[in-house]
A and B are shown apart, each in its own frame.
Chain A
Amino acid sequence: MKLWRVPVLAVPWCWLLVFLVAPLAIVVGISFAQPADGIPPYAPVLAWHDGWPILSLDPANYAVLLQDRFYLAALLRSVVVAGLSSLACLLLGYPMALAIARAPAAWRSRLLLLVILPFWTGFLLRVTAWIGLLRDDGWINGALLAVGLIHAPLRLLYTDFAMYVGIVYAYLPFMILPLYARLSKLDPALEAAAGDLGESPVGVFLRVTWPLSRPGVLAGMMLVFIPAVGEYVIPELLGGPGAQTIGRVLWTEFFDNHDWPMASAVAVALLGVLLVPAALLQRSGSRRFDDRGA
């Protein structure tokens, strides 16, 4: 390797080792520690005894994690919420991606921009907009009351419904972009040929368009699923007190209970849950770091 390449490679490597790999190793280490009074609030995992390092790993946190229904329920719930949200994003996003991919070429980039634009208003402020819509004295209730469909405000905010709406709203572009990338590369002649050979429009979609777009569907669903599993802000602000997702549990363990070892064990469990979808995303062909340089 040429000498000048060493610093170019060393800088990002060292950065990732110090600020990504080492912190994750610390999380795993502290997940085996016991909480203690003091700063920091845990007993050290590594102690020095007569010049020898003594590693004391205590699996108690993981025992609690597996035995206490609360944690398992939160994990399961997060997976279900993320799965249903990515399904909802697919139902809403697929027609949008298909419409943009089939739009006149001059429109496509503008339509895509239109889809991404709300993204740049700020995540929290988009959640704010939904609070205004869903409140008891908010827009939706106001409209329904005015029309006379209901006589008392519906409880919309702080429900699972509000949480799903918020997650779909926040992550819809993650679904549309990979779907669009896939659908726009699909040769329309294939669909035309299927049509000429007597397939109905539904048949063309089911036998040609959908199968060919499946890698994009998988990539989009994983791109929604992965951030949604660990989501904290939306369940906290829009979901009810019962919407205990794993991200929220981790936050509570850390900030409210000051139980850093338990928060670390929850973090390791969350990491474990993410391994499968991350591997699927890697395989879906939308690999973001391909080995073109090799």
Chain B
Amino acid sequence: MHRRALLTLGLLPGLLFLYLPIILLVLFSFNDARLLTGWAGFSWRWYAALWHDRALIEAALLSLQVAALAATGATLVGLAAGLALARFARFPGRAAFTAALAAPLVLPDVLIGLSLLLLFVATESAIGWPHNRGVATIVLAHVTFSLSYVAVVVQARLADTDPALEEAAADLGAPPWRVFLAVTLPLAAPALLSGWLLAFTLSLDDLVVASFVSGPGASTLPMVVFSSLHLGATPELDALATVMLAICAAALAIAGRIGVARRRRRL
């Protein structure tokens, strides 16, 4: 009784606060009216408008491309960083490396964006690259702020596994690359998947850093949404949010299924 009261009283207000705006947003993406108050009947019109909004769709495709590239890059660099932290007991500059790796987790977006833009401007005048800022510069920036998250996940995973597995493989004569491919990589695989997904969502969500390092002609989805929000929210953006929510829920459901199936196989 006591426990149930704690559950309801503790959770209900917070969950209402978290979910009420989202529920109303989904509901009103189906409203057949321009104004937000008042229900004017069910309609798909905002989804149709979304479908025909070329600028928004192009921006979404660009964002997906950037996010996939950035997540892959961040996973590769983050794997190396996580591996070094978890498996190399001592190396020169470990404290500095740890601090540098933790910095993107606490630095504000505006600072990361400004500093990277200034870097790109400096390299452009020094070595002529990048001539045009766009996808490449956004991807580099996104890799930089998300590789730390991947490193955290990979390090945590490897710290939970026994280094003796790798030592055994090495003692049995496997060269280092073979140990890595046959033992370390499979051990780290779940962390790599969740790290990749985390980096992907961080990239898709980023407005501020992309606004700094992008050039004319390359607008990501958050940049387009932001500029239309400045003109006021429309039901079309509600429809966009609903689509994103549906994709996200579907991805979670699939991931949950895979997890359940895997646990069953292990039993």
Contact = CB atoms under 8 A, between A and B. Distances in A.
Interface of A: 1-2, 4-5, 8-9, 11-13, 15-24, 26-27, 30, 40, 92-93, 95-96, 98-100, 102-103, 111, 113-115, 117-118, 120-133, 135, 137-139, 141-142, 169, 172, 226-227, 229-233, 237, 247, 250-251, 254-255, 260, 263-264, 267, 270-271, 274, 278, 281-282, 288-289, 291-294
Interface stretch (B42-50, B88-96, B128-136, B185-193): B88-96
Given A15-B144, A19-B140, A232-B109, 9 more contacts: A9-B97, A12-B97, A13-B93, A95-B14, A103-B3, A128-B241, A133-B21, A135-B233, A231-B108
Interface of B: 3, 6-7, 9-11, 13-15, 17-19, 21-22, 24-25, 28, 35-38, 76-78, 80-81, 83-91, 93-94, 97-98, 100-111, 114-116, 118-119, 121-122, 125, 140-141, 143-144, 147, 151-152, 155, 159, 176-177, 201, 204-205, 207-208, 211-212, 222, 225-226, 229-230, 232-233, 237-238, 240-241, 244-245, 248-249, 252
Given A12-B101, A93-B14, A99-B7, A230 B109 contact: yes
A128 B86 CA distance: 41
B108 A122 contact: no
Given A27-B114, A131-B229, A229-B108, A12 B176 contact: no
| Nearest 4 pairs of A and B residues by beta carbon | A230-B108, A99-B10, A23-B115, A95-B10
Given A138-B36, A232-B110, A26 B248 contact: no
The majority secondary structure among interface residues of chain A is helix
Nearest to B156: A288
Given A4-B176, A95-B9, A274 B226 contact: no
Contacts of A131: 229, 232-233
A132 B114 contact: no
Contacts of B78: 12
A15 B77 contact: yes
Contacts of A135: 36, 233
Contacts of B122: 26
Nearest to B179: A4
